[in-house]
Structures are given as C-alpha cells and as structure tokens.
A and B are shown apart, each in its own frame.
Chain A
Amino acid sequence: MRDELGEGFADHAAEKVRVLEGDVHSEDLGLGPEDLAELSREVDVVIHSAASVVFDAPLDAAVDSNVRGTLGLLTLARSWEKRPLFMHVSTSYVAGTKPGLILEEPPGEGTPNGKKLDPKGEVSRLDAIVREVEEASGEKGLVRRFDEEARRELGMVGEPDEVAERVETLRRAWVRERLVERGNERARELGWQDVYTFTKSLAERRVLEERGDLPLVILRPAIIESSLREPYPGWIQGSRMADPIIMAFARGILREFPGDPKSIVDIVPVDHVVNAVIAAAVRRPEEPEVYQVASGERNPIRYRDFYENVREFFLKNPLRDSGGRPVPVPEWSFPGRKRVEGLLKAELTGLKVAGALVSRMPEGHAKTDLRGRIARADKRARMSYYFSRIYGDYGDMKSTFSARRVYELYKSLPEGDREAFPFDIAEVDWREWLQETHLPAITRKPGRKKRGKGREEKPGEVAAIFDVDGTLVKSNVVSYYAWMKMRDLPPIKRPLFAASILGKVPYYWALDKISRTHFNRAFYKSYKGWKPARARALGKESFAGYTLDRLFPGAVEELREHRRAGHRIVLLSGALDFVLEPFKDLADDVLSAKLEEEDGAFTGELSGAPVAGEARARMLASFARKRGLDLSRSYAYADSISDLPMLEAVGNPVVVNPDGRLEKAARERGWTIKRWRRG
C-alpha cells in the first residue's frame, strides 16, 4: 500500500485507522484520560489479538501477556458507553492433547485431559510458582554458584560491580530457564502441549468469567499462514508456526520429522482469518459464541501431503548456500517422534564426547577444522531436537478442529459480502497454494542479513587483505630464514647448515600440518640471538635477492588493481616484521609477527600472539573495527587451510594456489580459486 499510495499513504491510513499506543501490561493499558474517554464514547467492537506466541516462554511472561493483558483490556471495555462486542482471538490449539473432533464451544470446566480447573485459582497458583522460583534463586548455594561462575568468566580483571552485574545476569537466566520448565510442566500436567496453549485457554476461561454483560466472541484460528488473495497472494508478516520447520527442512537441517505423517496440519490463509474476524465482529450475541477458523474438518491436509509438496517445491527450487550451490533436501521416513528424538540425543552425546577429545588437541587449523565440523553438527542436532520438543506435539495431533459454525457464519453473509470477504476453507487448493503462493513467498522473504545491508548508512572502507608467504610470494618462513642465515655464514659452513635445515624439514612439515601457530612459535626460536639491526638489513636485502624472484606477478597485478579501485591494502602475515619491511610501500597496513628483543638481541620468542589461524581472524576483526573496514565487502587472499578463519571473515574470499584441504573447503563454499604462477 505504501508503494501504491506513495505520499498519500499517511493520510489514507489516518482516515481509516486511529492508532493509540498502549501497553497491555500497564494499568488502563497505559492510556491517558482523553484517549480513554474517546474509546468509551466511540468503540463498537473490541478485537483483542495481542498475545505472546512463544511456545517456550517463561511462565510469568506467558501469563502476563496472554491472561493479564487480555483481562486488562476486557475490564476497560466493560466500562465503555456502547457496550462493545469483545472479540477474543484465541487459537484452535487450546484443545490441547484432547483427541477427536473439537467443537466450537466454550472450554467448560475441564482440562484437555479431563481434570477440573478453577481458572482464577489457577492464575494464583501460577503466580505462586513464579514467586517460588524467584525465591529459590536467592538460595545461598545457588548464589555461591553464580558468584563462582561470574568470577571464573571475568577472571582476574573483574571489578566488584562487574561481578555483581554478572551474578544478577546469571540469576535471571536461571530463573527464566526454571520458569520455562515449570510452565510447560504445569501445561503438560493438565493436558496442554505447552505454556502457550495453556495460557491461551486460561485467558478464554477468565474472559468468560469476567465479561460481565459484554457480548463476547471467541475466535480460534488454527495455524495462520500466508494469504490466498488479500492484500496479495502470499502476504504474511513474520514467520511463526510452520515456516521455521519448512525452512529448516529446506536448509537440510531437519533430516527427519518427529511427527505422525497421517496427522493433520491445520493451516488457514491469513486473509480467511481476517475476513472471519470481520464477519464475526458484527455480531452481538447474548451468549458467548466460539468460532474456529480451521481447515482440518472441511479441507484437511496431512503432514505427508504437506511434506511431499514442500519437498517437491525445494527439489525444483532449492535454496542456495553462500557459494550459490543448491542445498540438497532430505527425505523423511517419519520413523516416529520417539525414535527421532532418541537418535538426536545419541548424536548430541557423541558430539559432546568428540568435542571433549578435540579440546585436548593442540591449537591449530586441524583443531579449528574439527571444532568447526563438530559445532555445525551440534547446532544441527540441537535445532532438530529443539524443533522436535517444541513442535512435536503439533505434529502428532489426534484431534480435528470443527469449523461448522464458521462455515454457517460464512453462508449467512449476503452474496456480495461472501465475495468481498471469502473465508470458506473448502475453496483452497492446498497444492496450488503451497507450490505457487506460500512456498515462493517464504523463500523470497529477504533474510535478516540483506535487510541489515540495506539499512547501512555509512559504509565502511573496502579492504583487500593479502596473506604473504605462499600467496604473494612462493615462499615460506623456513626458506626466508635459510636464505638470510646463509648470507650470514662463511661459504664454507653453508653446506653443513643446509643439511641441518633439511634434516628438520619433516618435523616442521608435520608440525605445520597440525598447527601453523605451533609451527611458527617453534620455528621462530631459530632467530634466538640474532641482532635486530642485522636482521633488518638482511630483511631488506632479501627483497631483491630472494623475494622478487618468487613473487607471483598475478598477485602484484591483483594488488595494484585493488589499489586503483581505492581499496585499502592490508598485508596480514605470520612472517616477521623485518622480512616484510620492504613491502610497506605496497600496502596501507602491514600486520606481521614481531620477535621479542632483550639486551639488543632476539630472544626467539614472539612478542604477542602468532598471526595464524583463529588468531589471524581475530586480529583482522579487531583491526577492521578500529579502521572502520567493512569486511562484508572486503577481499581476502590466502593459500593455506590455516587461513580459513580469515577467509571466512570477509565477503569476497579468494583462495590462491590452495593446499588440498583449503581447495576442498573453497569448493564447498563456492569461493574463487586462483592459480598464480611464476614466469
């Protein structure tokens, strides 16, 4: 509408909609006397649809939003002059785990599993649970635990107020976790899936108790998905219910579904829901009425059909990874929720063991690589497990939502209204809607990343970051050392020295395979006792005498190309500063390793962290922050698997003459691979 109306949008909206800003948690919704007076005078219909649709919300938040917020508005509306209709938008899933046909009728006194429930007393009980958890969090043993953890995290550097702040954060996190647990515990005890459906049902019950003489309609949509027609096919805001599962499937994360393929996935297009709300809003029933906007009874779609449609769509229109290659979609066999969760738990345990083993390995790219794989597998398994816990009950429904009253409401409309405000669920062709409307709509939705880019106002500088050894120059730290050392030795001693270096090659090679960082530390000990001035002179000489013959012309061309494009040239290398000194005119910044000096000689120890692996990526990140570089638009060139973290940190990674492992990684990610040669 904004696009269509342009500048006229604001006027048009003001004509149709009067917006008041309030808060369901505050007294009188946080509105002033004038606003309240206007509401009292003018309002004919109250449509309450504010709720927290978070399945694993902490108990206090769920009660506040879903129960108290609703009652707050209801209380206000009861005092209004026109005795408005109060429409409470609920959810069909308040039926909980109760099997069979769920009729459109008020909840009664029983819970889904047949227990008796006093709504007001239940709210007090939940409040008591919240208080109990709060109190328990102040228990001495726990506080000591928080305190210890805070100190451990902050280490020696923690100031007392920082520690106190951290303790409070830890305590709140603990409370929150307990409240999520306790809420869902109580919900399940009474026959609901989770705290969401439980508190929504509580709200219905409380509204019935407190409505006084207000006419009341409870409208229970099922899973709301994108629109069939209005404002355009495929419109929806946010992605709440089925969409995260669809996307997890399409991304290959959800490899099995923890549900019953025969059970109904009860979805309705959002414009049907809106039309039903409008149709119901004109009613003024003396006795409360309930409507379920649902598809399960008149036009059901089952999980298997849904899955097959989704799979068909993503086979034809696969998502693409960052390298632009299609993501393969999994095939589900629906082994049952228990088995799915069992396998996931086993996988998580295995990964935990693997993680513990890897943490004992020395730091380096081998470790980084494994840790990355484990982390990815762990994330995938955790997400699957989470989906299973959260959505599992919805995929295993034994009930069907009746929608006869909604259909009658629809039929009762005059012909013209039926055409203008259709909500007969039987008209939906699920296959067509999924393939042509809904799935294209949710996959087109811009990702968070892209929106972030659009918002950026002051773009950072673009940098071209080059590794040196192996990338710009066909060389490595050992050959540099050997060359310089040879220059310093009398000719007669050179062969002996060469032989001694050769003897150590296998050791260095193996060490480098495991960890570039370890290798650098070990190798730089060779410089122990060197005089810095002599090292600088040799470093300068090495450029003409050694480097130049090994420089890749392609690299230099690329570097100058970046310079012409106005990019900031950064050399980021594990090589030593005196070797890189001659490069400094070529780059805006040279980030290199430095040796510690003591009494006018090198000690053989690095001063500061080695510039390799993760440390290199971290160094780059902090440098980018300081210099205001935009890494997402920057370029990085490197040749070794140990450079992977650095390459991953930029938007345009380029892999140069890669080793086998880096080449594989680059292919998987669809990165540019360049082969630079001498001569």
Chain B
Amino acid sequence: MRRPGTIKILENDSPPMMFNAGDGFHYEKLPAGTRVIYPPGPVEPIAEPGVAIERALLEPMEMEPLHDLLFPGMKLTIGFDDISLPIPPMQPPDIRQMIIEKVVEKARARGVEDIHIIAALGLHRRMTEAELRHALGKGLMSAYYPDRLYNYDAEDPDGNVQIGETDQGEEVTVSRRVAESDLLVYVNINHVAMNGGHKSVHTGLSPYASIRHNHTPDTLSNTKSLMDPKNSAMHGSFNRMGAIFDEHVKVFHIETTLNNSAFPPVFDFMAKPEHEWGALTKANFLVNHKATQAMPLPAARKVFHSIRAPHRMTSIQAGSTDPVHEETLKHVYHQQLVPVEGQADVLLMGVPFVGPYNVNSIMNPMLVYNILLGYLFNLYKGKPLVRQGGVLIGTHPMPNDFNEVHHPSYIDLWNEVYPQTNDIREIAHKYEKRYAEDPWYRTLYRNSHAYHGVHPFTVLYWAAHALDHLGGVILVGGDPMTTARMGLKRADTIAEALEMSKDIVGPSPSTTYMHVPPLFMVEVS
C-alpha cells in the first residue's frame, strides 16, 4: 500500500531539512511551526505494461481500435514526446519505445509502408542520435533512422503548413508531414498535469507561427495554473487549435502516466521524509551533500545528470484526444495531488538539478527562474499554496553558467538584454521578434542541438503568473550577480531569507516547505 502525501509540522527537536539546490543540496534547520508537505509515495505500477499497451490499442476511447485505422498505402506518422520528458530520463526500456514498437508492428502487419516517426520537439533542441536511441531503442533506430525517424524541424520552410485559424485569430500551422498523413499516432508521457492533450501537437509539431499566440506574458499571467488545464488560458488556446486540427487530421492519441519513483536507491534520501531517515540514510545524504560541495561543478553536474529514474507506468489510455486526456489527468492527480488546508505567507521550495530544458545540459539562470516561478510555483490546483503578496523562497546557487551548444540565444539574451531590463513584458515587446527570426539561431536550431532563438522568451513568460501573485522571491545561496540581474533577492540561509520575508508579509509569517522533488501538486482548501 503506497504512502499518501504527508504534512508534518516541525518542532524544536525536528531534524534539519534537506533542500535540492541545483547540482547539490542545502541543509538547514527550519523554525518550529514550519509546515512541511511531503509527496505521496509512488503509485503501484502496471504489472504487465506490454499487455496494458495492447489493451489500450485494442480498446481505445471513443475511437476504432488502432488496427482498424490502418490500411495499406496509407501515410502513417507517429509523433512522440521529446527529451524534455520524463525528468530525470527513465531507465530503459523507455515507455515510448515499448509503445511505438507495438504501433509499428501493427502497422506493418496491416501492410503500411509509409511510416514516419517524429520527435515532437517543437522549439526545443534536436535530440542526438544517442538520445533518440535511449528513447526508442536500437530496433526502431536501425530500421528508420535517419530518413524516416527524425527530429521535427519548425524552421523548415517547406516542412510546415498552415491548416487554419482559430476564431481568436490564432494561426494553426503544423508539420506538413503530419497534416498530410492519414493518421497521426501521438505517443506521450504525462509527467505533470500541464502536458498531453492538444498541447502535444500544438507545441511539439508546430512552429513559432502558432506557438507565439499562446506563449505570451499575457496568456501566461492568466494561466492559473499551468498544472490545472481547466483554469489555464494557455490550454484554452491549445484546445481551440486542437479543434481545428482534428478537422484536418485523424489523431490516435496514446497517453501514459508514470509514478513518481524519480530516484534510484542511492538517492533514497530524496524520497524519504527527514524524520524517517535512519543513520544510514542520513550518512548517505551527508556524504552526497559534502561530495557535491567539494566537487567541481561540472563533476557534480555529471553525477546528477547520469541519474536514470526508475519511473514506472501507472496507466495507459488511447483514442480520441479529449477523453483520453481527461482520463490521464485523473491518474496524474491520483499520483501527485496532496490536499492541503490553507495558504502560507511564505513558501519554501528546493530547485532540483534538472528541468525539462536542461536534460543532459546546464540549468542556466533563466532556466532556474523558469523552474522556480514557472514550474514549482504552479504545482497547484485551485489556488496557490502561497497567498497573494506572499514570498517564495527557493534554494539554488544560480551560477552564471550556460550550455553553449544547447542555449546560444539564452546567452545572448543574458548578455545583451538583461543588463538593461529584466521586465518580461518589455523584453517580449522589444526583443522577441528579433530573436525569433535571427538566422544564426535558426541555423543552430536546425543543424546543431540548440533551442530555438525564441525559446528563452517562452521560458521567461512562464513566470508571469507567479510575478503577478507574489510579493517577493528570494533565492537562498544564489549568486549575487545573477540573482540581481534576474531581479530576484538573495540570501545565504533560509533563516536570513525568512527574516527578509518579514518586511513583506509581516512579523510572524506562516511558513510552508513543499518538499520537492519528486514533483507533486497541492490542492489548497
């Protein structure tokens, strides 16, 4: 029987709390009375995933079984979620491999020859051959790569086509191959509630021409929250686009959920509440903590990024996008949702080493900002865990460090724009277009492994709702230069940060520590 999410109120003799802090940890005793929310334990995985996949394809929701949709001479395209999911990457075999192998097997059996398999990376970086192999396995790679198994190219002038426009004037443009296919099978991994559904196609297989309509500061400030699609303006836009897309292309959507078994046994301390640590767990943590402090940063980063998560599939559903996604969200919430009573004045969160945009890479200052204010803050359904005007305290060193191959336009934005302004609306207004159209970033996006020139903008906009809501953001352990440049406050310790918070929220704040990762969500009553 799995453990539900727990809430612990700290006392004077409670042990110190560990925080994730990038490629290391922060360890500090919190004041008595602090509320700590721990994630639920992992949901029991499906015992026989192969069988579950087979059943999902045979008994889809509001759609014919997959084999009835396949016929000789057809154009079949299989899209799949890229490297941004799941985090950390999962131990092989990856769910995508298991599902796509099954789909391809069925298609070939039905005499389908024209099969393309596309990594739906949208404006993310191209996956390397090794990453594709990790996600899809050797068999698919040797049969289809590189001619029929490839990365989506949002900047291929001949490779995308506009299929319509929503009633709100949003251009709906998608991959030409997808638009011209008789069937699109989309294979997704729902790691958090914001993913899946119509978002898959309209961010993964769509160019900037479409994405620019919903990745704006205004949309994101009305997205409350990202993890609650019904209350998200961004998801509203995806659904409008999806309605038009469904008229043009038949989509067989396959969605899966994972349990939150994010760390291998050596990092057992991550998933265990501190008061449950035995001597061994504590020793293990302290060894890791000291080691990451002593190691040069690149070495520590290497250790963390070599983590392959023992995630397991907890559900799979296939068929028509909307009913499938509704079912998926139920499973996501079942794993992740923790009911909580009352908002806090001050919310503490540890920022982990990895987010969707720095798998096998570096979490640069803009990505730290995105994870803290875009992802972690939004891990709620209903109302935020921290009250309006409250303070969010994160732990991360935010080093001035960038991956040159993956994030070239981030580097330029950081050096060219941030010294002048950190106002996301001003940045959007003045610079988005130029970065989006810069031929150098286009070249790197298409031929190297760089995020699209405009990607850092979308990442920053994700903070819009948090910025509207919060009275202050403090980064514990943050580099003074980078935090100042991003417009954040910094402190050396949580104690100091809590002192600083009092100027904003009053002398005796209620404090909550949301103990991520593993990622989970709260529903505040």
Q: Which residues of A contact B (CB under 8 A)?
A: 537, 540, 543-544, 548, 556, 559-560, 563, 582-583, 585-587
Known: A585-B439, A586-B439. 12 other contacts (CB 8 A): A537-B146, A543-B443, A544-B405, A544-B447, A548-B405, A548-B448, A563-B439, A582-B446, A582-B447, A583-B443, A585-B155, A587-B439
Per-position binary interface string of chain B over residues 404-440, scored 1 when its CB falls under 8 Å from any chain A CB and 0 otherwise:
0100000000000000000000000000000000111
Interface of chain B residues 371 through 407 with chain A (CB within 8 A): 405
Per-position binary interface string of chain B over residues 110-141, scored 1 when its CB falls under 8 Å from any chain A CB and 0 otherwise:
00000000000000001000000000000000
B250 interface residue (CB < 8 Å to A): no
A544, B438: Cβ atoms closer than 8 Å: no
Q: List 9 A-B contacts (CB under 8 A).
A: A548-B444, A548-B448, A560-B438, A582-B443, A582-B446, A585-B155, A585-B446, A586-B439, A586-B440
- How long is the Cα–Cα vector from A502 to B333 in the complex, in angstroms? 62
B26 interface residue (CB < 8 Å to A): no
Residue with the highest number of chain B CB atoms closer than 10 Å, among A540, A548, A560: A548
| Chain A, Cβ-Cβ closest to B126 | A544
In the A-B complex, the 7 residue pairs with the closest CB atoms = A582-B447, A543-B447, A544-B448, A585-B443, A585-B442, A586-B443, A585-B439
Number of A-B contacts (CB under 8 A): 32
Residue with the highest number of chain A CB atoms closer than 10 Å, among B447, B448, B449: B447
Count chain B residues whose beta carbon lies closer than 8 angstroms to a beta carbon of A.
Answer: 14
Shortest Cβ distance from residue B361 to the other chain A in the assembled complex, whole angstroms: 14
| A543 and B448 in contact, given A537-B146, A560-B438 (Cβ under 8 angstroms) | yes
Chain A residue numbers with a CB within 8 Å of B155 are 585
| Chain A, Cβ-Cβ closest to B157 | A585
A540, B438: Cβ atoms closer than 8 Å: no
Shortest Cβ distance from residue B298 to the other chain A in the assembled complex, whole angstroms: 16
| Chain B, Cβ-Cβ closest to A544 | B448
Per-position binary interface string of chain B over residues 203-224, scored 1 when its CB falls under 8 Å from any chain A CB and 0 otherwise:
0000000000000000000000
Q: State the majority secondary structure of interface residues on A.
A: helix
- How long is the Cα–Cα vector from A201 to B443 in the complex, in angstroms? 76
- How long is the Cα–Cα vector from A540 to B448 in the complex, in angstroms? 9
Chain A residue numbers with a CB within 8 Å of B440 are 556, 559-560, 586
Chain A residue numbers with a CB within 8 Å of B405 are 544, 548
Shortest Cβ distance from residue B448 to the other chain A in the assembled complex, whole angstroms: 4
Chain B residue numbers with a CB within 8 Å of A540 are 447
Chain A residue numbers with a CB within 8 Å of B443 are 543, 582-583, 585-586
| Chain A, Cβ-Cβ closest to B434 | A564
| B449 in complex: contacting residue of A544, A560, A582, CB < 8 Å | A544
Shortest Cβ distance from residue A364 to the other chain B in the assembled complex, whole angstroms: 32
- How long is the Cα–Cα vector from A385 to B302 in the complex, in angstroms? 77
Per-position binary interface string of chain B over residues 433-475, scored 1 when its CB falls under 8 Å from any chain A CB and 0 otherwise:
0000011101110111100000000000000000000000000
Chain B residue numbers with a CB within 8 Å of A556 are 440
- How long is the Cα–Cα vector from A537 to B448 in the complex, in angstroms? 13
Shortest Cβ distance from residue B117 to the other chain A in the assembled complex, whole angstroms: 17
| Chain B, Cβ-Cβ closest to A569 | B439
Residue with the highest number of chain A CB atoms closer than 10 Å, among B405, B438, B443: B443
| Chain A, Cβ-Cβ closest to B438 | A560
Shortest Cβ distance from residue B489 to the other chain A in the assembled complex, whole angstroms: 34
- How long is the Cα–Cα vector from A563 to B438 in the complex, in angstroms? 9
Chain B residue numbers with a CB within 8 Å of A548 are 405, 444, 448
Chain B residue numbers with a CB within 8 Å of A582 are 443, 446-447
Chain A residue numbers with a CB within 8 Å of B444 are 548
- How long is the Cα–Cα vector from A89 to B155 in the complex, in angstroms? 76
- How long is the Cα–Cα vector from A560 to B449 in the complex, in angstroms? 20
| Chain B, Cβ-Cβ closest to A542 | B447
Shortest Cβ distance from residue A339 to the other chain B in the assembled complex, whole angstroms: 63
Shortest Cβ distance from residue A484 to the other chain B in the assembled complex, whole angstroms: 15
Chain A residue numbers with a CB within 8 Å of B448 are 543-544, 548
Chain A residue numbers with a CB within 8 Å of B126 are 544
Per-position binary interface string of chain B over residues 192-209, scored 1 when its CB falls under 8 Å from any chain A CB and 0 otherwise:
000000000000000000
| Chain B, Cβ-Cβ closest to A543 | B447
Per-position binary interface string of chain B over residues 237-264, scored 1 when its CB falls under 8 Å from any chain A CB and 0 otherwise:
0000000000000000000000000000
- How long is the Cα–Cα vector from A583 to B446 in the complex, in angstroms? 10
Shortest Cβ distance from residue A348 to the other chain B in the assembled complex, whole angstroms: 53
- How long is the Cα–Cα vector from A191 to B213 in the complex, in angstroms? 92
Shortest Cβ distance from residue A434 to the other chain B in the assembled complex, whole angstroms: 57
- How long is the Cα–Cα vector from A556 to B438 in the complex, in angstroms? 12
Chain B residue numbers with a CB within 8 Å of A543 are 443, 447-448
- How long is the Cα–Cα vector from A563 to B442 in the complex, in angstroms? 14
Chain B residue numbers with a CB within 8 Å of A586 are 439-440, 443
- How long is the Cα–Cα vector from A668 to B290 in the complex, in angstroms? 62
Chain B residue numbers with a CB within 8 Å of A563 are 439
Chain A residue numbers with a CB within 8 Å of B439 are 560, 563, 585-587
| Chain B, Cβ-Cβ closest to A588 | B439
| Chain A, Cβ-Cβ closest to B129 | A541
Chain A residue numbers with a CB within 8 Å of B447 are 540, 543-544, 582
